[in-house]
């Protein structure tokens, strides 16, 4: 049984806590939050103990897994502390929510600390576990639309309401570029390879209290062009779309379409150029958050490398920060260190 210590007791921590409770090989033992009442409320739902002190939680729980679900700027503190005490306490793995950290320097410190401790650091880039995105990637890789030339994504809704309005504090969240469309940056890089140039326009510099928007153009080393749109300016609710165009046709996903056929491929030539081919979706009771955490725990148990590495987390942050730099300067940014 894997003993889990959770940092944060907000929205994402609640989701992770429910996932651990549903797992047979895990037990949520501790929940820590700077608001003790929030930790108490979440811990009580899952039969865990609430903590105000991370140090005390680590010492008492002696967790196998530390899972960091607090706001982005503080991921680094908890990951470094847990890595430092890993050998003493028997900590076997650390997971952190996306984005990995607020700065590249923090990301690198987290990667290096876990490597020095000899334990895996998992960056919970959950879109890789969404069935539509998994299916879209495998279709692209199997050549369903031929050689990809361009890809277009849209993600967004309203700015989340959370503790201390932290999503609206650009210095903390990085706005919709670092917090939201990092999901797409990670999936796109995973699917189409390294990005060499980033150009973006957006509202980040305006620091609007409840709105943000960005349009990011990516040039991949492969020659594929990406068009990534993110918004926290849509009060009508959350929407996600994806289009991949290749020399054989177009793959399209729109989360607002009927659930029976969310992924469509339309091909050039023959009958299929007039009618879309529907690809069946995965079962609806599948929870991608649970799938990602189960994957991580299984890797820890078996000593295998998680499918998302610290370097993957770093590269996603690198693309997002380049987009923010481009928004600020109005100039394209070349990613010389990208991999
Ligand atoms: N993967 C996803 O789909 C997804 C979705 C939402 C959020 N997230 C990420 O999860 C993380 C948490 O976001 P959230 O929406 O749960 O935020 P939230 O505001 O709902 O919850 C944050 C919690 O952390 C606590 N907290 C604040 N500072 C802390 C600190 N220094 N130490 C310990 N606890 C602290 C707050 O009291 C609050 O209970 C962020 O990194 C966010 O980007 C990921």
Based on the number of CB atoms within 10 Å of its own CB, is 176 exposed (0-12), middle (13-18) or buried (19 or more)? buried
Residue 204 phi/psi, 5-degree rounding, is -55, -40
Which of 7, 76, 97, 155 to mutate for ligand 1's pocket (most ligand atoms within 8 Å of CB)? 97
Q: Does residue 282 register a pLDDT over 70?
A: no
What confidence category does residue 277 fall into, taking pLDDT thresholds of 50, 70 and 90? Answer: very low
The pLDDT of residue 269 is: 74
Q: Does residue 153 register a pLDDT over 70?
A: yes
Domain with CATH 3.30.360.10 in the chain: 127-284+317-334
CATH topology of domain 2-124: Rossmann fold (3.40.50)
Spacing, Cα 339 to ligand 1 middle (Å): 28
Query: What is the dotted CATH code of the domain comprising 127-284+317-334?
Result: 3.30.360.10
Model pLDDT for residues 204-219, shown as the tens digit of each residue: 999 998 999 999 999 9
Name the closest-CA residue to atom 38, ligand 1. 10
| Ligand 1 atom with least separation from CA of 70 | 24
Which of 57, 69, 71, 96 to mutate for ligand 1's pocket (most ligand atoms within 8 Å of CB)? 71
Tokens 């609007």 belong to residue: 208
Model pLDDT for residues 39-76, shown as the tens digit of each residue: 999 999 999 999 999 999 999 999 999 999 999 999 99
Q: Does residue 278 register a pLDDT over 70?
A: no
Residue 26 phi/psi, 5-degree rounding, is -135, 155
The structure's pTM equals: 0.95
């Amino acid at each position: 049984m894997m003993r889990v210590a959770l940092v944060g007791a907000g929205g994402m921590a609640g989701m992770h806590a429910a996932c651990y409770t549903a797992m047979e090989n895990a037990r949520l033992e501790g929940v820590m939050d700077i608001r003790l009442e929030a930790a108490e409320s979440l811990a009580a739902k899952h039969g865990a103990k609430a903590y105000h002190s991370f140090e005390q939680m680590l010492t008492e729980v002696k967790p196998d897994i530390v899972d960091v679900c607090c706001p982005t700027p503080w991921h680094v503190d908890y990951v470094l502390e847990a890595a430092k005490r890993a050998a003493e306490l028997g900590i076997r793995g650390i997971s952190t929510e996306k984005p990995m950290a607020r700065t590249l320097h923090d990301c690198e410190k987290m990667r290096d600390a876990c490597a020095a401790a000899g334990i895996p650091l998992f960056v919970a880039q959950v879109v890789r576990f969404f069935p539509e995105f998994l299916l879209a990637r495998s279709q692209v890789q199997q050549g369903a639309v031929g050689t990809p030339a361009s890809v277009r994504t849209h993600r967004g809704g309203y700015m989340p309401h959370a503790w201390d309005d932290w999503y609206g504090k650009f210095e903390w969240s990085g706005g919709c570029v670092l917090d939201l469309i990092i999901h797409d940056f990670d999936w796109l890089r995973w699917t189409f390879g390294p990005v060499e140039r980033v150009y973006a326009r957006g509202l980040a510099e305006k620091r609007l209290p409840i709105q943000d928007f960005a349009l990011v153009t990516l040039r991949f080393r492969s020659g594929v062009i990406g068009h990534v749109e993110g918004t926290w300016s849509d009060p009508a609710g959350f929407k996600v779309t994806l289009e991949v165009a290749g020399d054989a046709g177009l793959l399209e996903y729109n989360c607002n379409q009927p659930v029976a056929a969310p992924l469509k491929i339309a091909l050039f030539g023959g009958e299929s150029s007039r009618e879309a081919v529907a690809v069946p979706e995965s079962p609806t009771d599948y929870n991608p958050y649970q799938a990602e955490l189960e994957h991580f725990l299984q890797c820890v148990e078996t000593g295998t490398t998680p499918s998302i590495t610290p370097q993957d987390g770093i590269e996603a942050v690198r693309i997002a920060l380049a987009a923010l730099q481009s928004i600020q300067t109005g100039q394209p940014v070349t990613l010389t260190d990208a991999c």
